[in-house]
Copies of this chain bind each other. A is one copy, B any other.
Amino acid sequence: NDSDRLLGGLLATGFDEATCLSRYQSSLYRKPSPYKPSPYLLSKLRSYETLHKRCGPGTEPYKKALTQLDQDHIDNNGECKYVVWVSFSGLGNRILSLASVFLYALLTDRVLLVDRGKDMEDLFCEPFPDMSWLLPLDFPLTSQFDGLNQDSSRCYGHMLKNHVVDNDKTLSHLYLHLVHDYGDHDKMFFCQGDQTFIGKVPWLVVKTDNYFVPSLWLIPGFDEELDKLFPQKETVFHHLGRYLFHPTNQVWGLVTRYYEAYLSNADEKIGIQVRVFDVGAGPFQHVMDQISSCTRKEKLLPEVDTVIERSRRVTIPKKHKAVLVTSLNSGYSENLKSMYWEYPTLTGEIIGVHQPSQEGYQQTEKKMHNGKALAEMYLLSMTDSLVTSAWSTFGYVAQGLGGLKPWILYKPENRTAPDPACGRAMSMEPCFHAPPFYDCKAKTGVDTGKLVPHVRHCEDMSWGLKLV
């Protein structure tokens, strides 16, 4: 069915299928999403694609805009404005921040260009028809990206702090520092007034490791448009993620081969994403206990019968459940696997436990490492029920792509499993880990998680914000 294949119209037609098999094949591996993109979002995406094609790398408007970078201030508005996403942080963080910046581009009629960093090109297909989203390698500011920080002279927060923002002039480019360690002046990005100033600058360079979408909703001037784009508010990353992030054929091979070899025959698939932020080598007993307690209490996995009655009859197998565990450590899945090997389940269900990679530690710079990480996020998104770890953007990506409200394993404190071990998420949206708490009008602090019903504090991080 063509609507399924195109995810209800989310995906544009006309791509060469062979160059990016995942784009049209991912629908074969997942149930159709119950969340349909709004017609308004679809038309917005189609016009974005037109804009992107008109202004993208190599076009006349692009060349013209580039020349503006030679000046400090610009005289007249060019035809196209840009926002450059700088490759930064772990893969989960990158995916979420890139989606945020894309939404910002949609809201501000900018063209998104992607700094390819070490491996963006190896991981993701081009999402827009007929025009690359990759920032050309000869972009004049690229060499500065690594050094950009809170104290860079063109950093908006820095300029505010030092009172060098001149509202009468339009800068040719501006750096937006939206990294988790950002300061109050950087956070002024989320104020409507500042957006007016920022909005005129033809080149924005953004470095962020956050999913800042929830706070965009609190900016007057954006909120109405967002309501129209996403009448189902919790679907922002679900739709944008599926629109933007198509694994390359190499990564798609990792996804499909694993799926076919280990998951496809199961009647039900359970994903368990284990991300441990404690220092020291795992596996940790308290994390193991937490996983067992959560999956048992929430009836995601059956209990085992440790009393071996010699006369027990083998019951006719009821159901085959495949458990997909992702973790840097192999201990958690080995433990589960042994348990379901050594003892029968009380329900008679057959439980297979599978873990694709066991990389041992985070290796953000290695190519295949991130390919495997992406493949695993994707595989998790293909499960029927998902358990994630608190604080982890890796899990957020999986839940969002999959359209799954996960059970979140709450963060253990002092190496003790929390009680309850986990809880069901309110929505499938990612959590914004470092939101501003500022009332731009009243110029005072405010609990931004209490302003509107659809922007709330996260389940896994009390100060975070998420859409529900």
Interface residues, chain A, with chain B CB atoms under 8 Å away = 18-19, 21, 25, 248-250, 252-254, 256-258, 260-262, 265, 308, 310-314, 317, 320, 340-344, 350-352, 356, 368
Contact = CB atoms under 8 A, between A and B. Distances in A.
Contacts of A25: 314
Contacts of A248: 310
Contacts of A312: 18, 249
Contact of A21 (B21, B249, B313): B313
Given A261-B340, A265-B265, A308-B250, A256 B314 contact: yes
B356 A253 contact: no
Contacts of A265: 265
B313 A18 contact: yes
A257 B304 CA distance: 12
A308 B257 contact: no
Contacts of A250: 308, 310
B342 A254 contact: yes
Shortest 9 CB-CB contacts between residues of A and residues of B: A261-B352, A265-B265, A18-B311, A260-B350, A261-B350, A250-B308, A249-B310, A262-B352, A260-B317
Nearest to A312: B249
Total copies of the chain = 2
Given A320-B261, A351-B261, A19 B253 contact: no
A367 to B, nearest CB: 12
A185 to B, nearest CB: 45
Contacts of A249: 308, 310-312
A341 B18 contact: no
A124 to B, nearest CB: 13
B261 A314 contact: no
Contacts of A343: 253
Contacts of A344: 253, 257
Kindly name the residue among A261, A314, A342 whose own CB sees the greatest number of chain B CB atoms within 10 A: A261
B19 A310 contact: yes
A222 to B, nearest CB: 38
10 contacts: A21-B313, A249-B310, A249-B311, A249-B312, A250-B310, A253-B344, A254-B342, A257-B341, A258-B341, A265-B265
A11 to B, nearest CB: 18
A253 B260 CA distance: 26
A311 B18 CA distance: 5
Contacts of A314: 21, 25, 252-253, 256
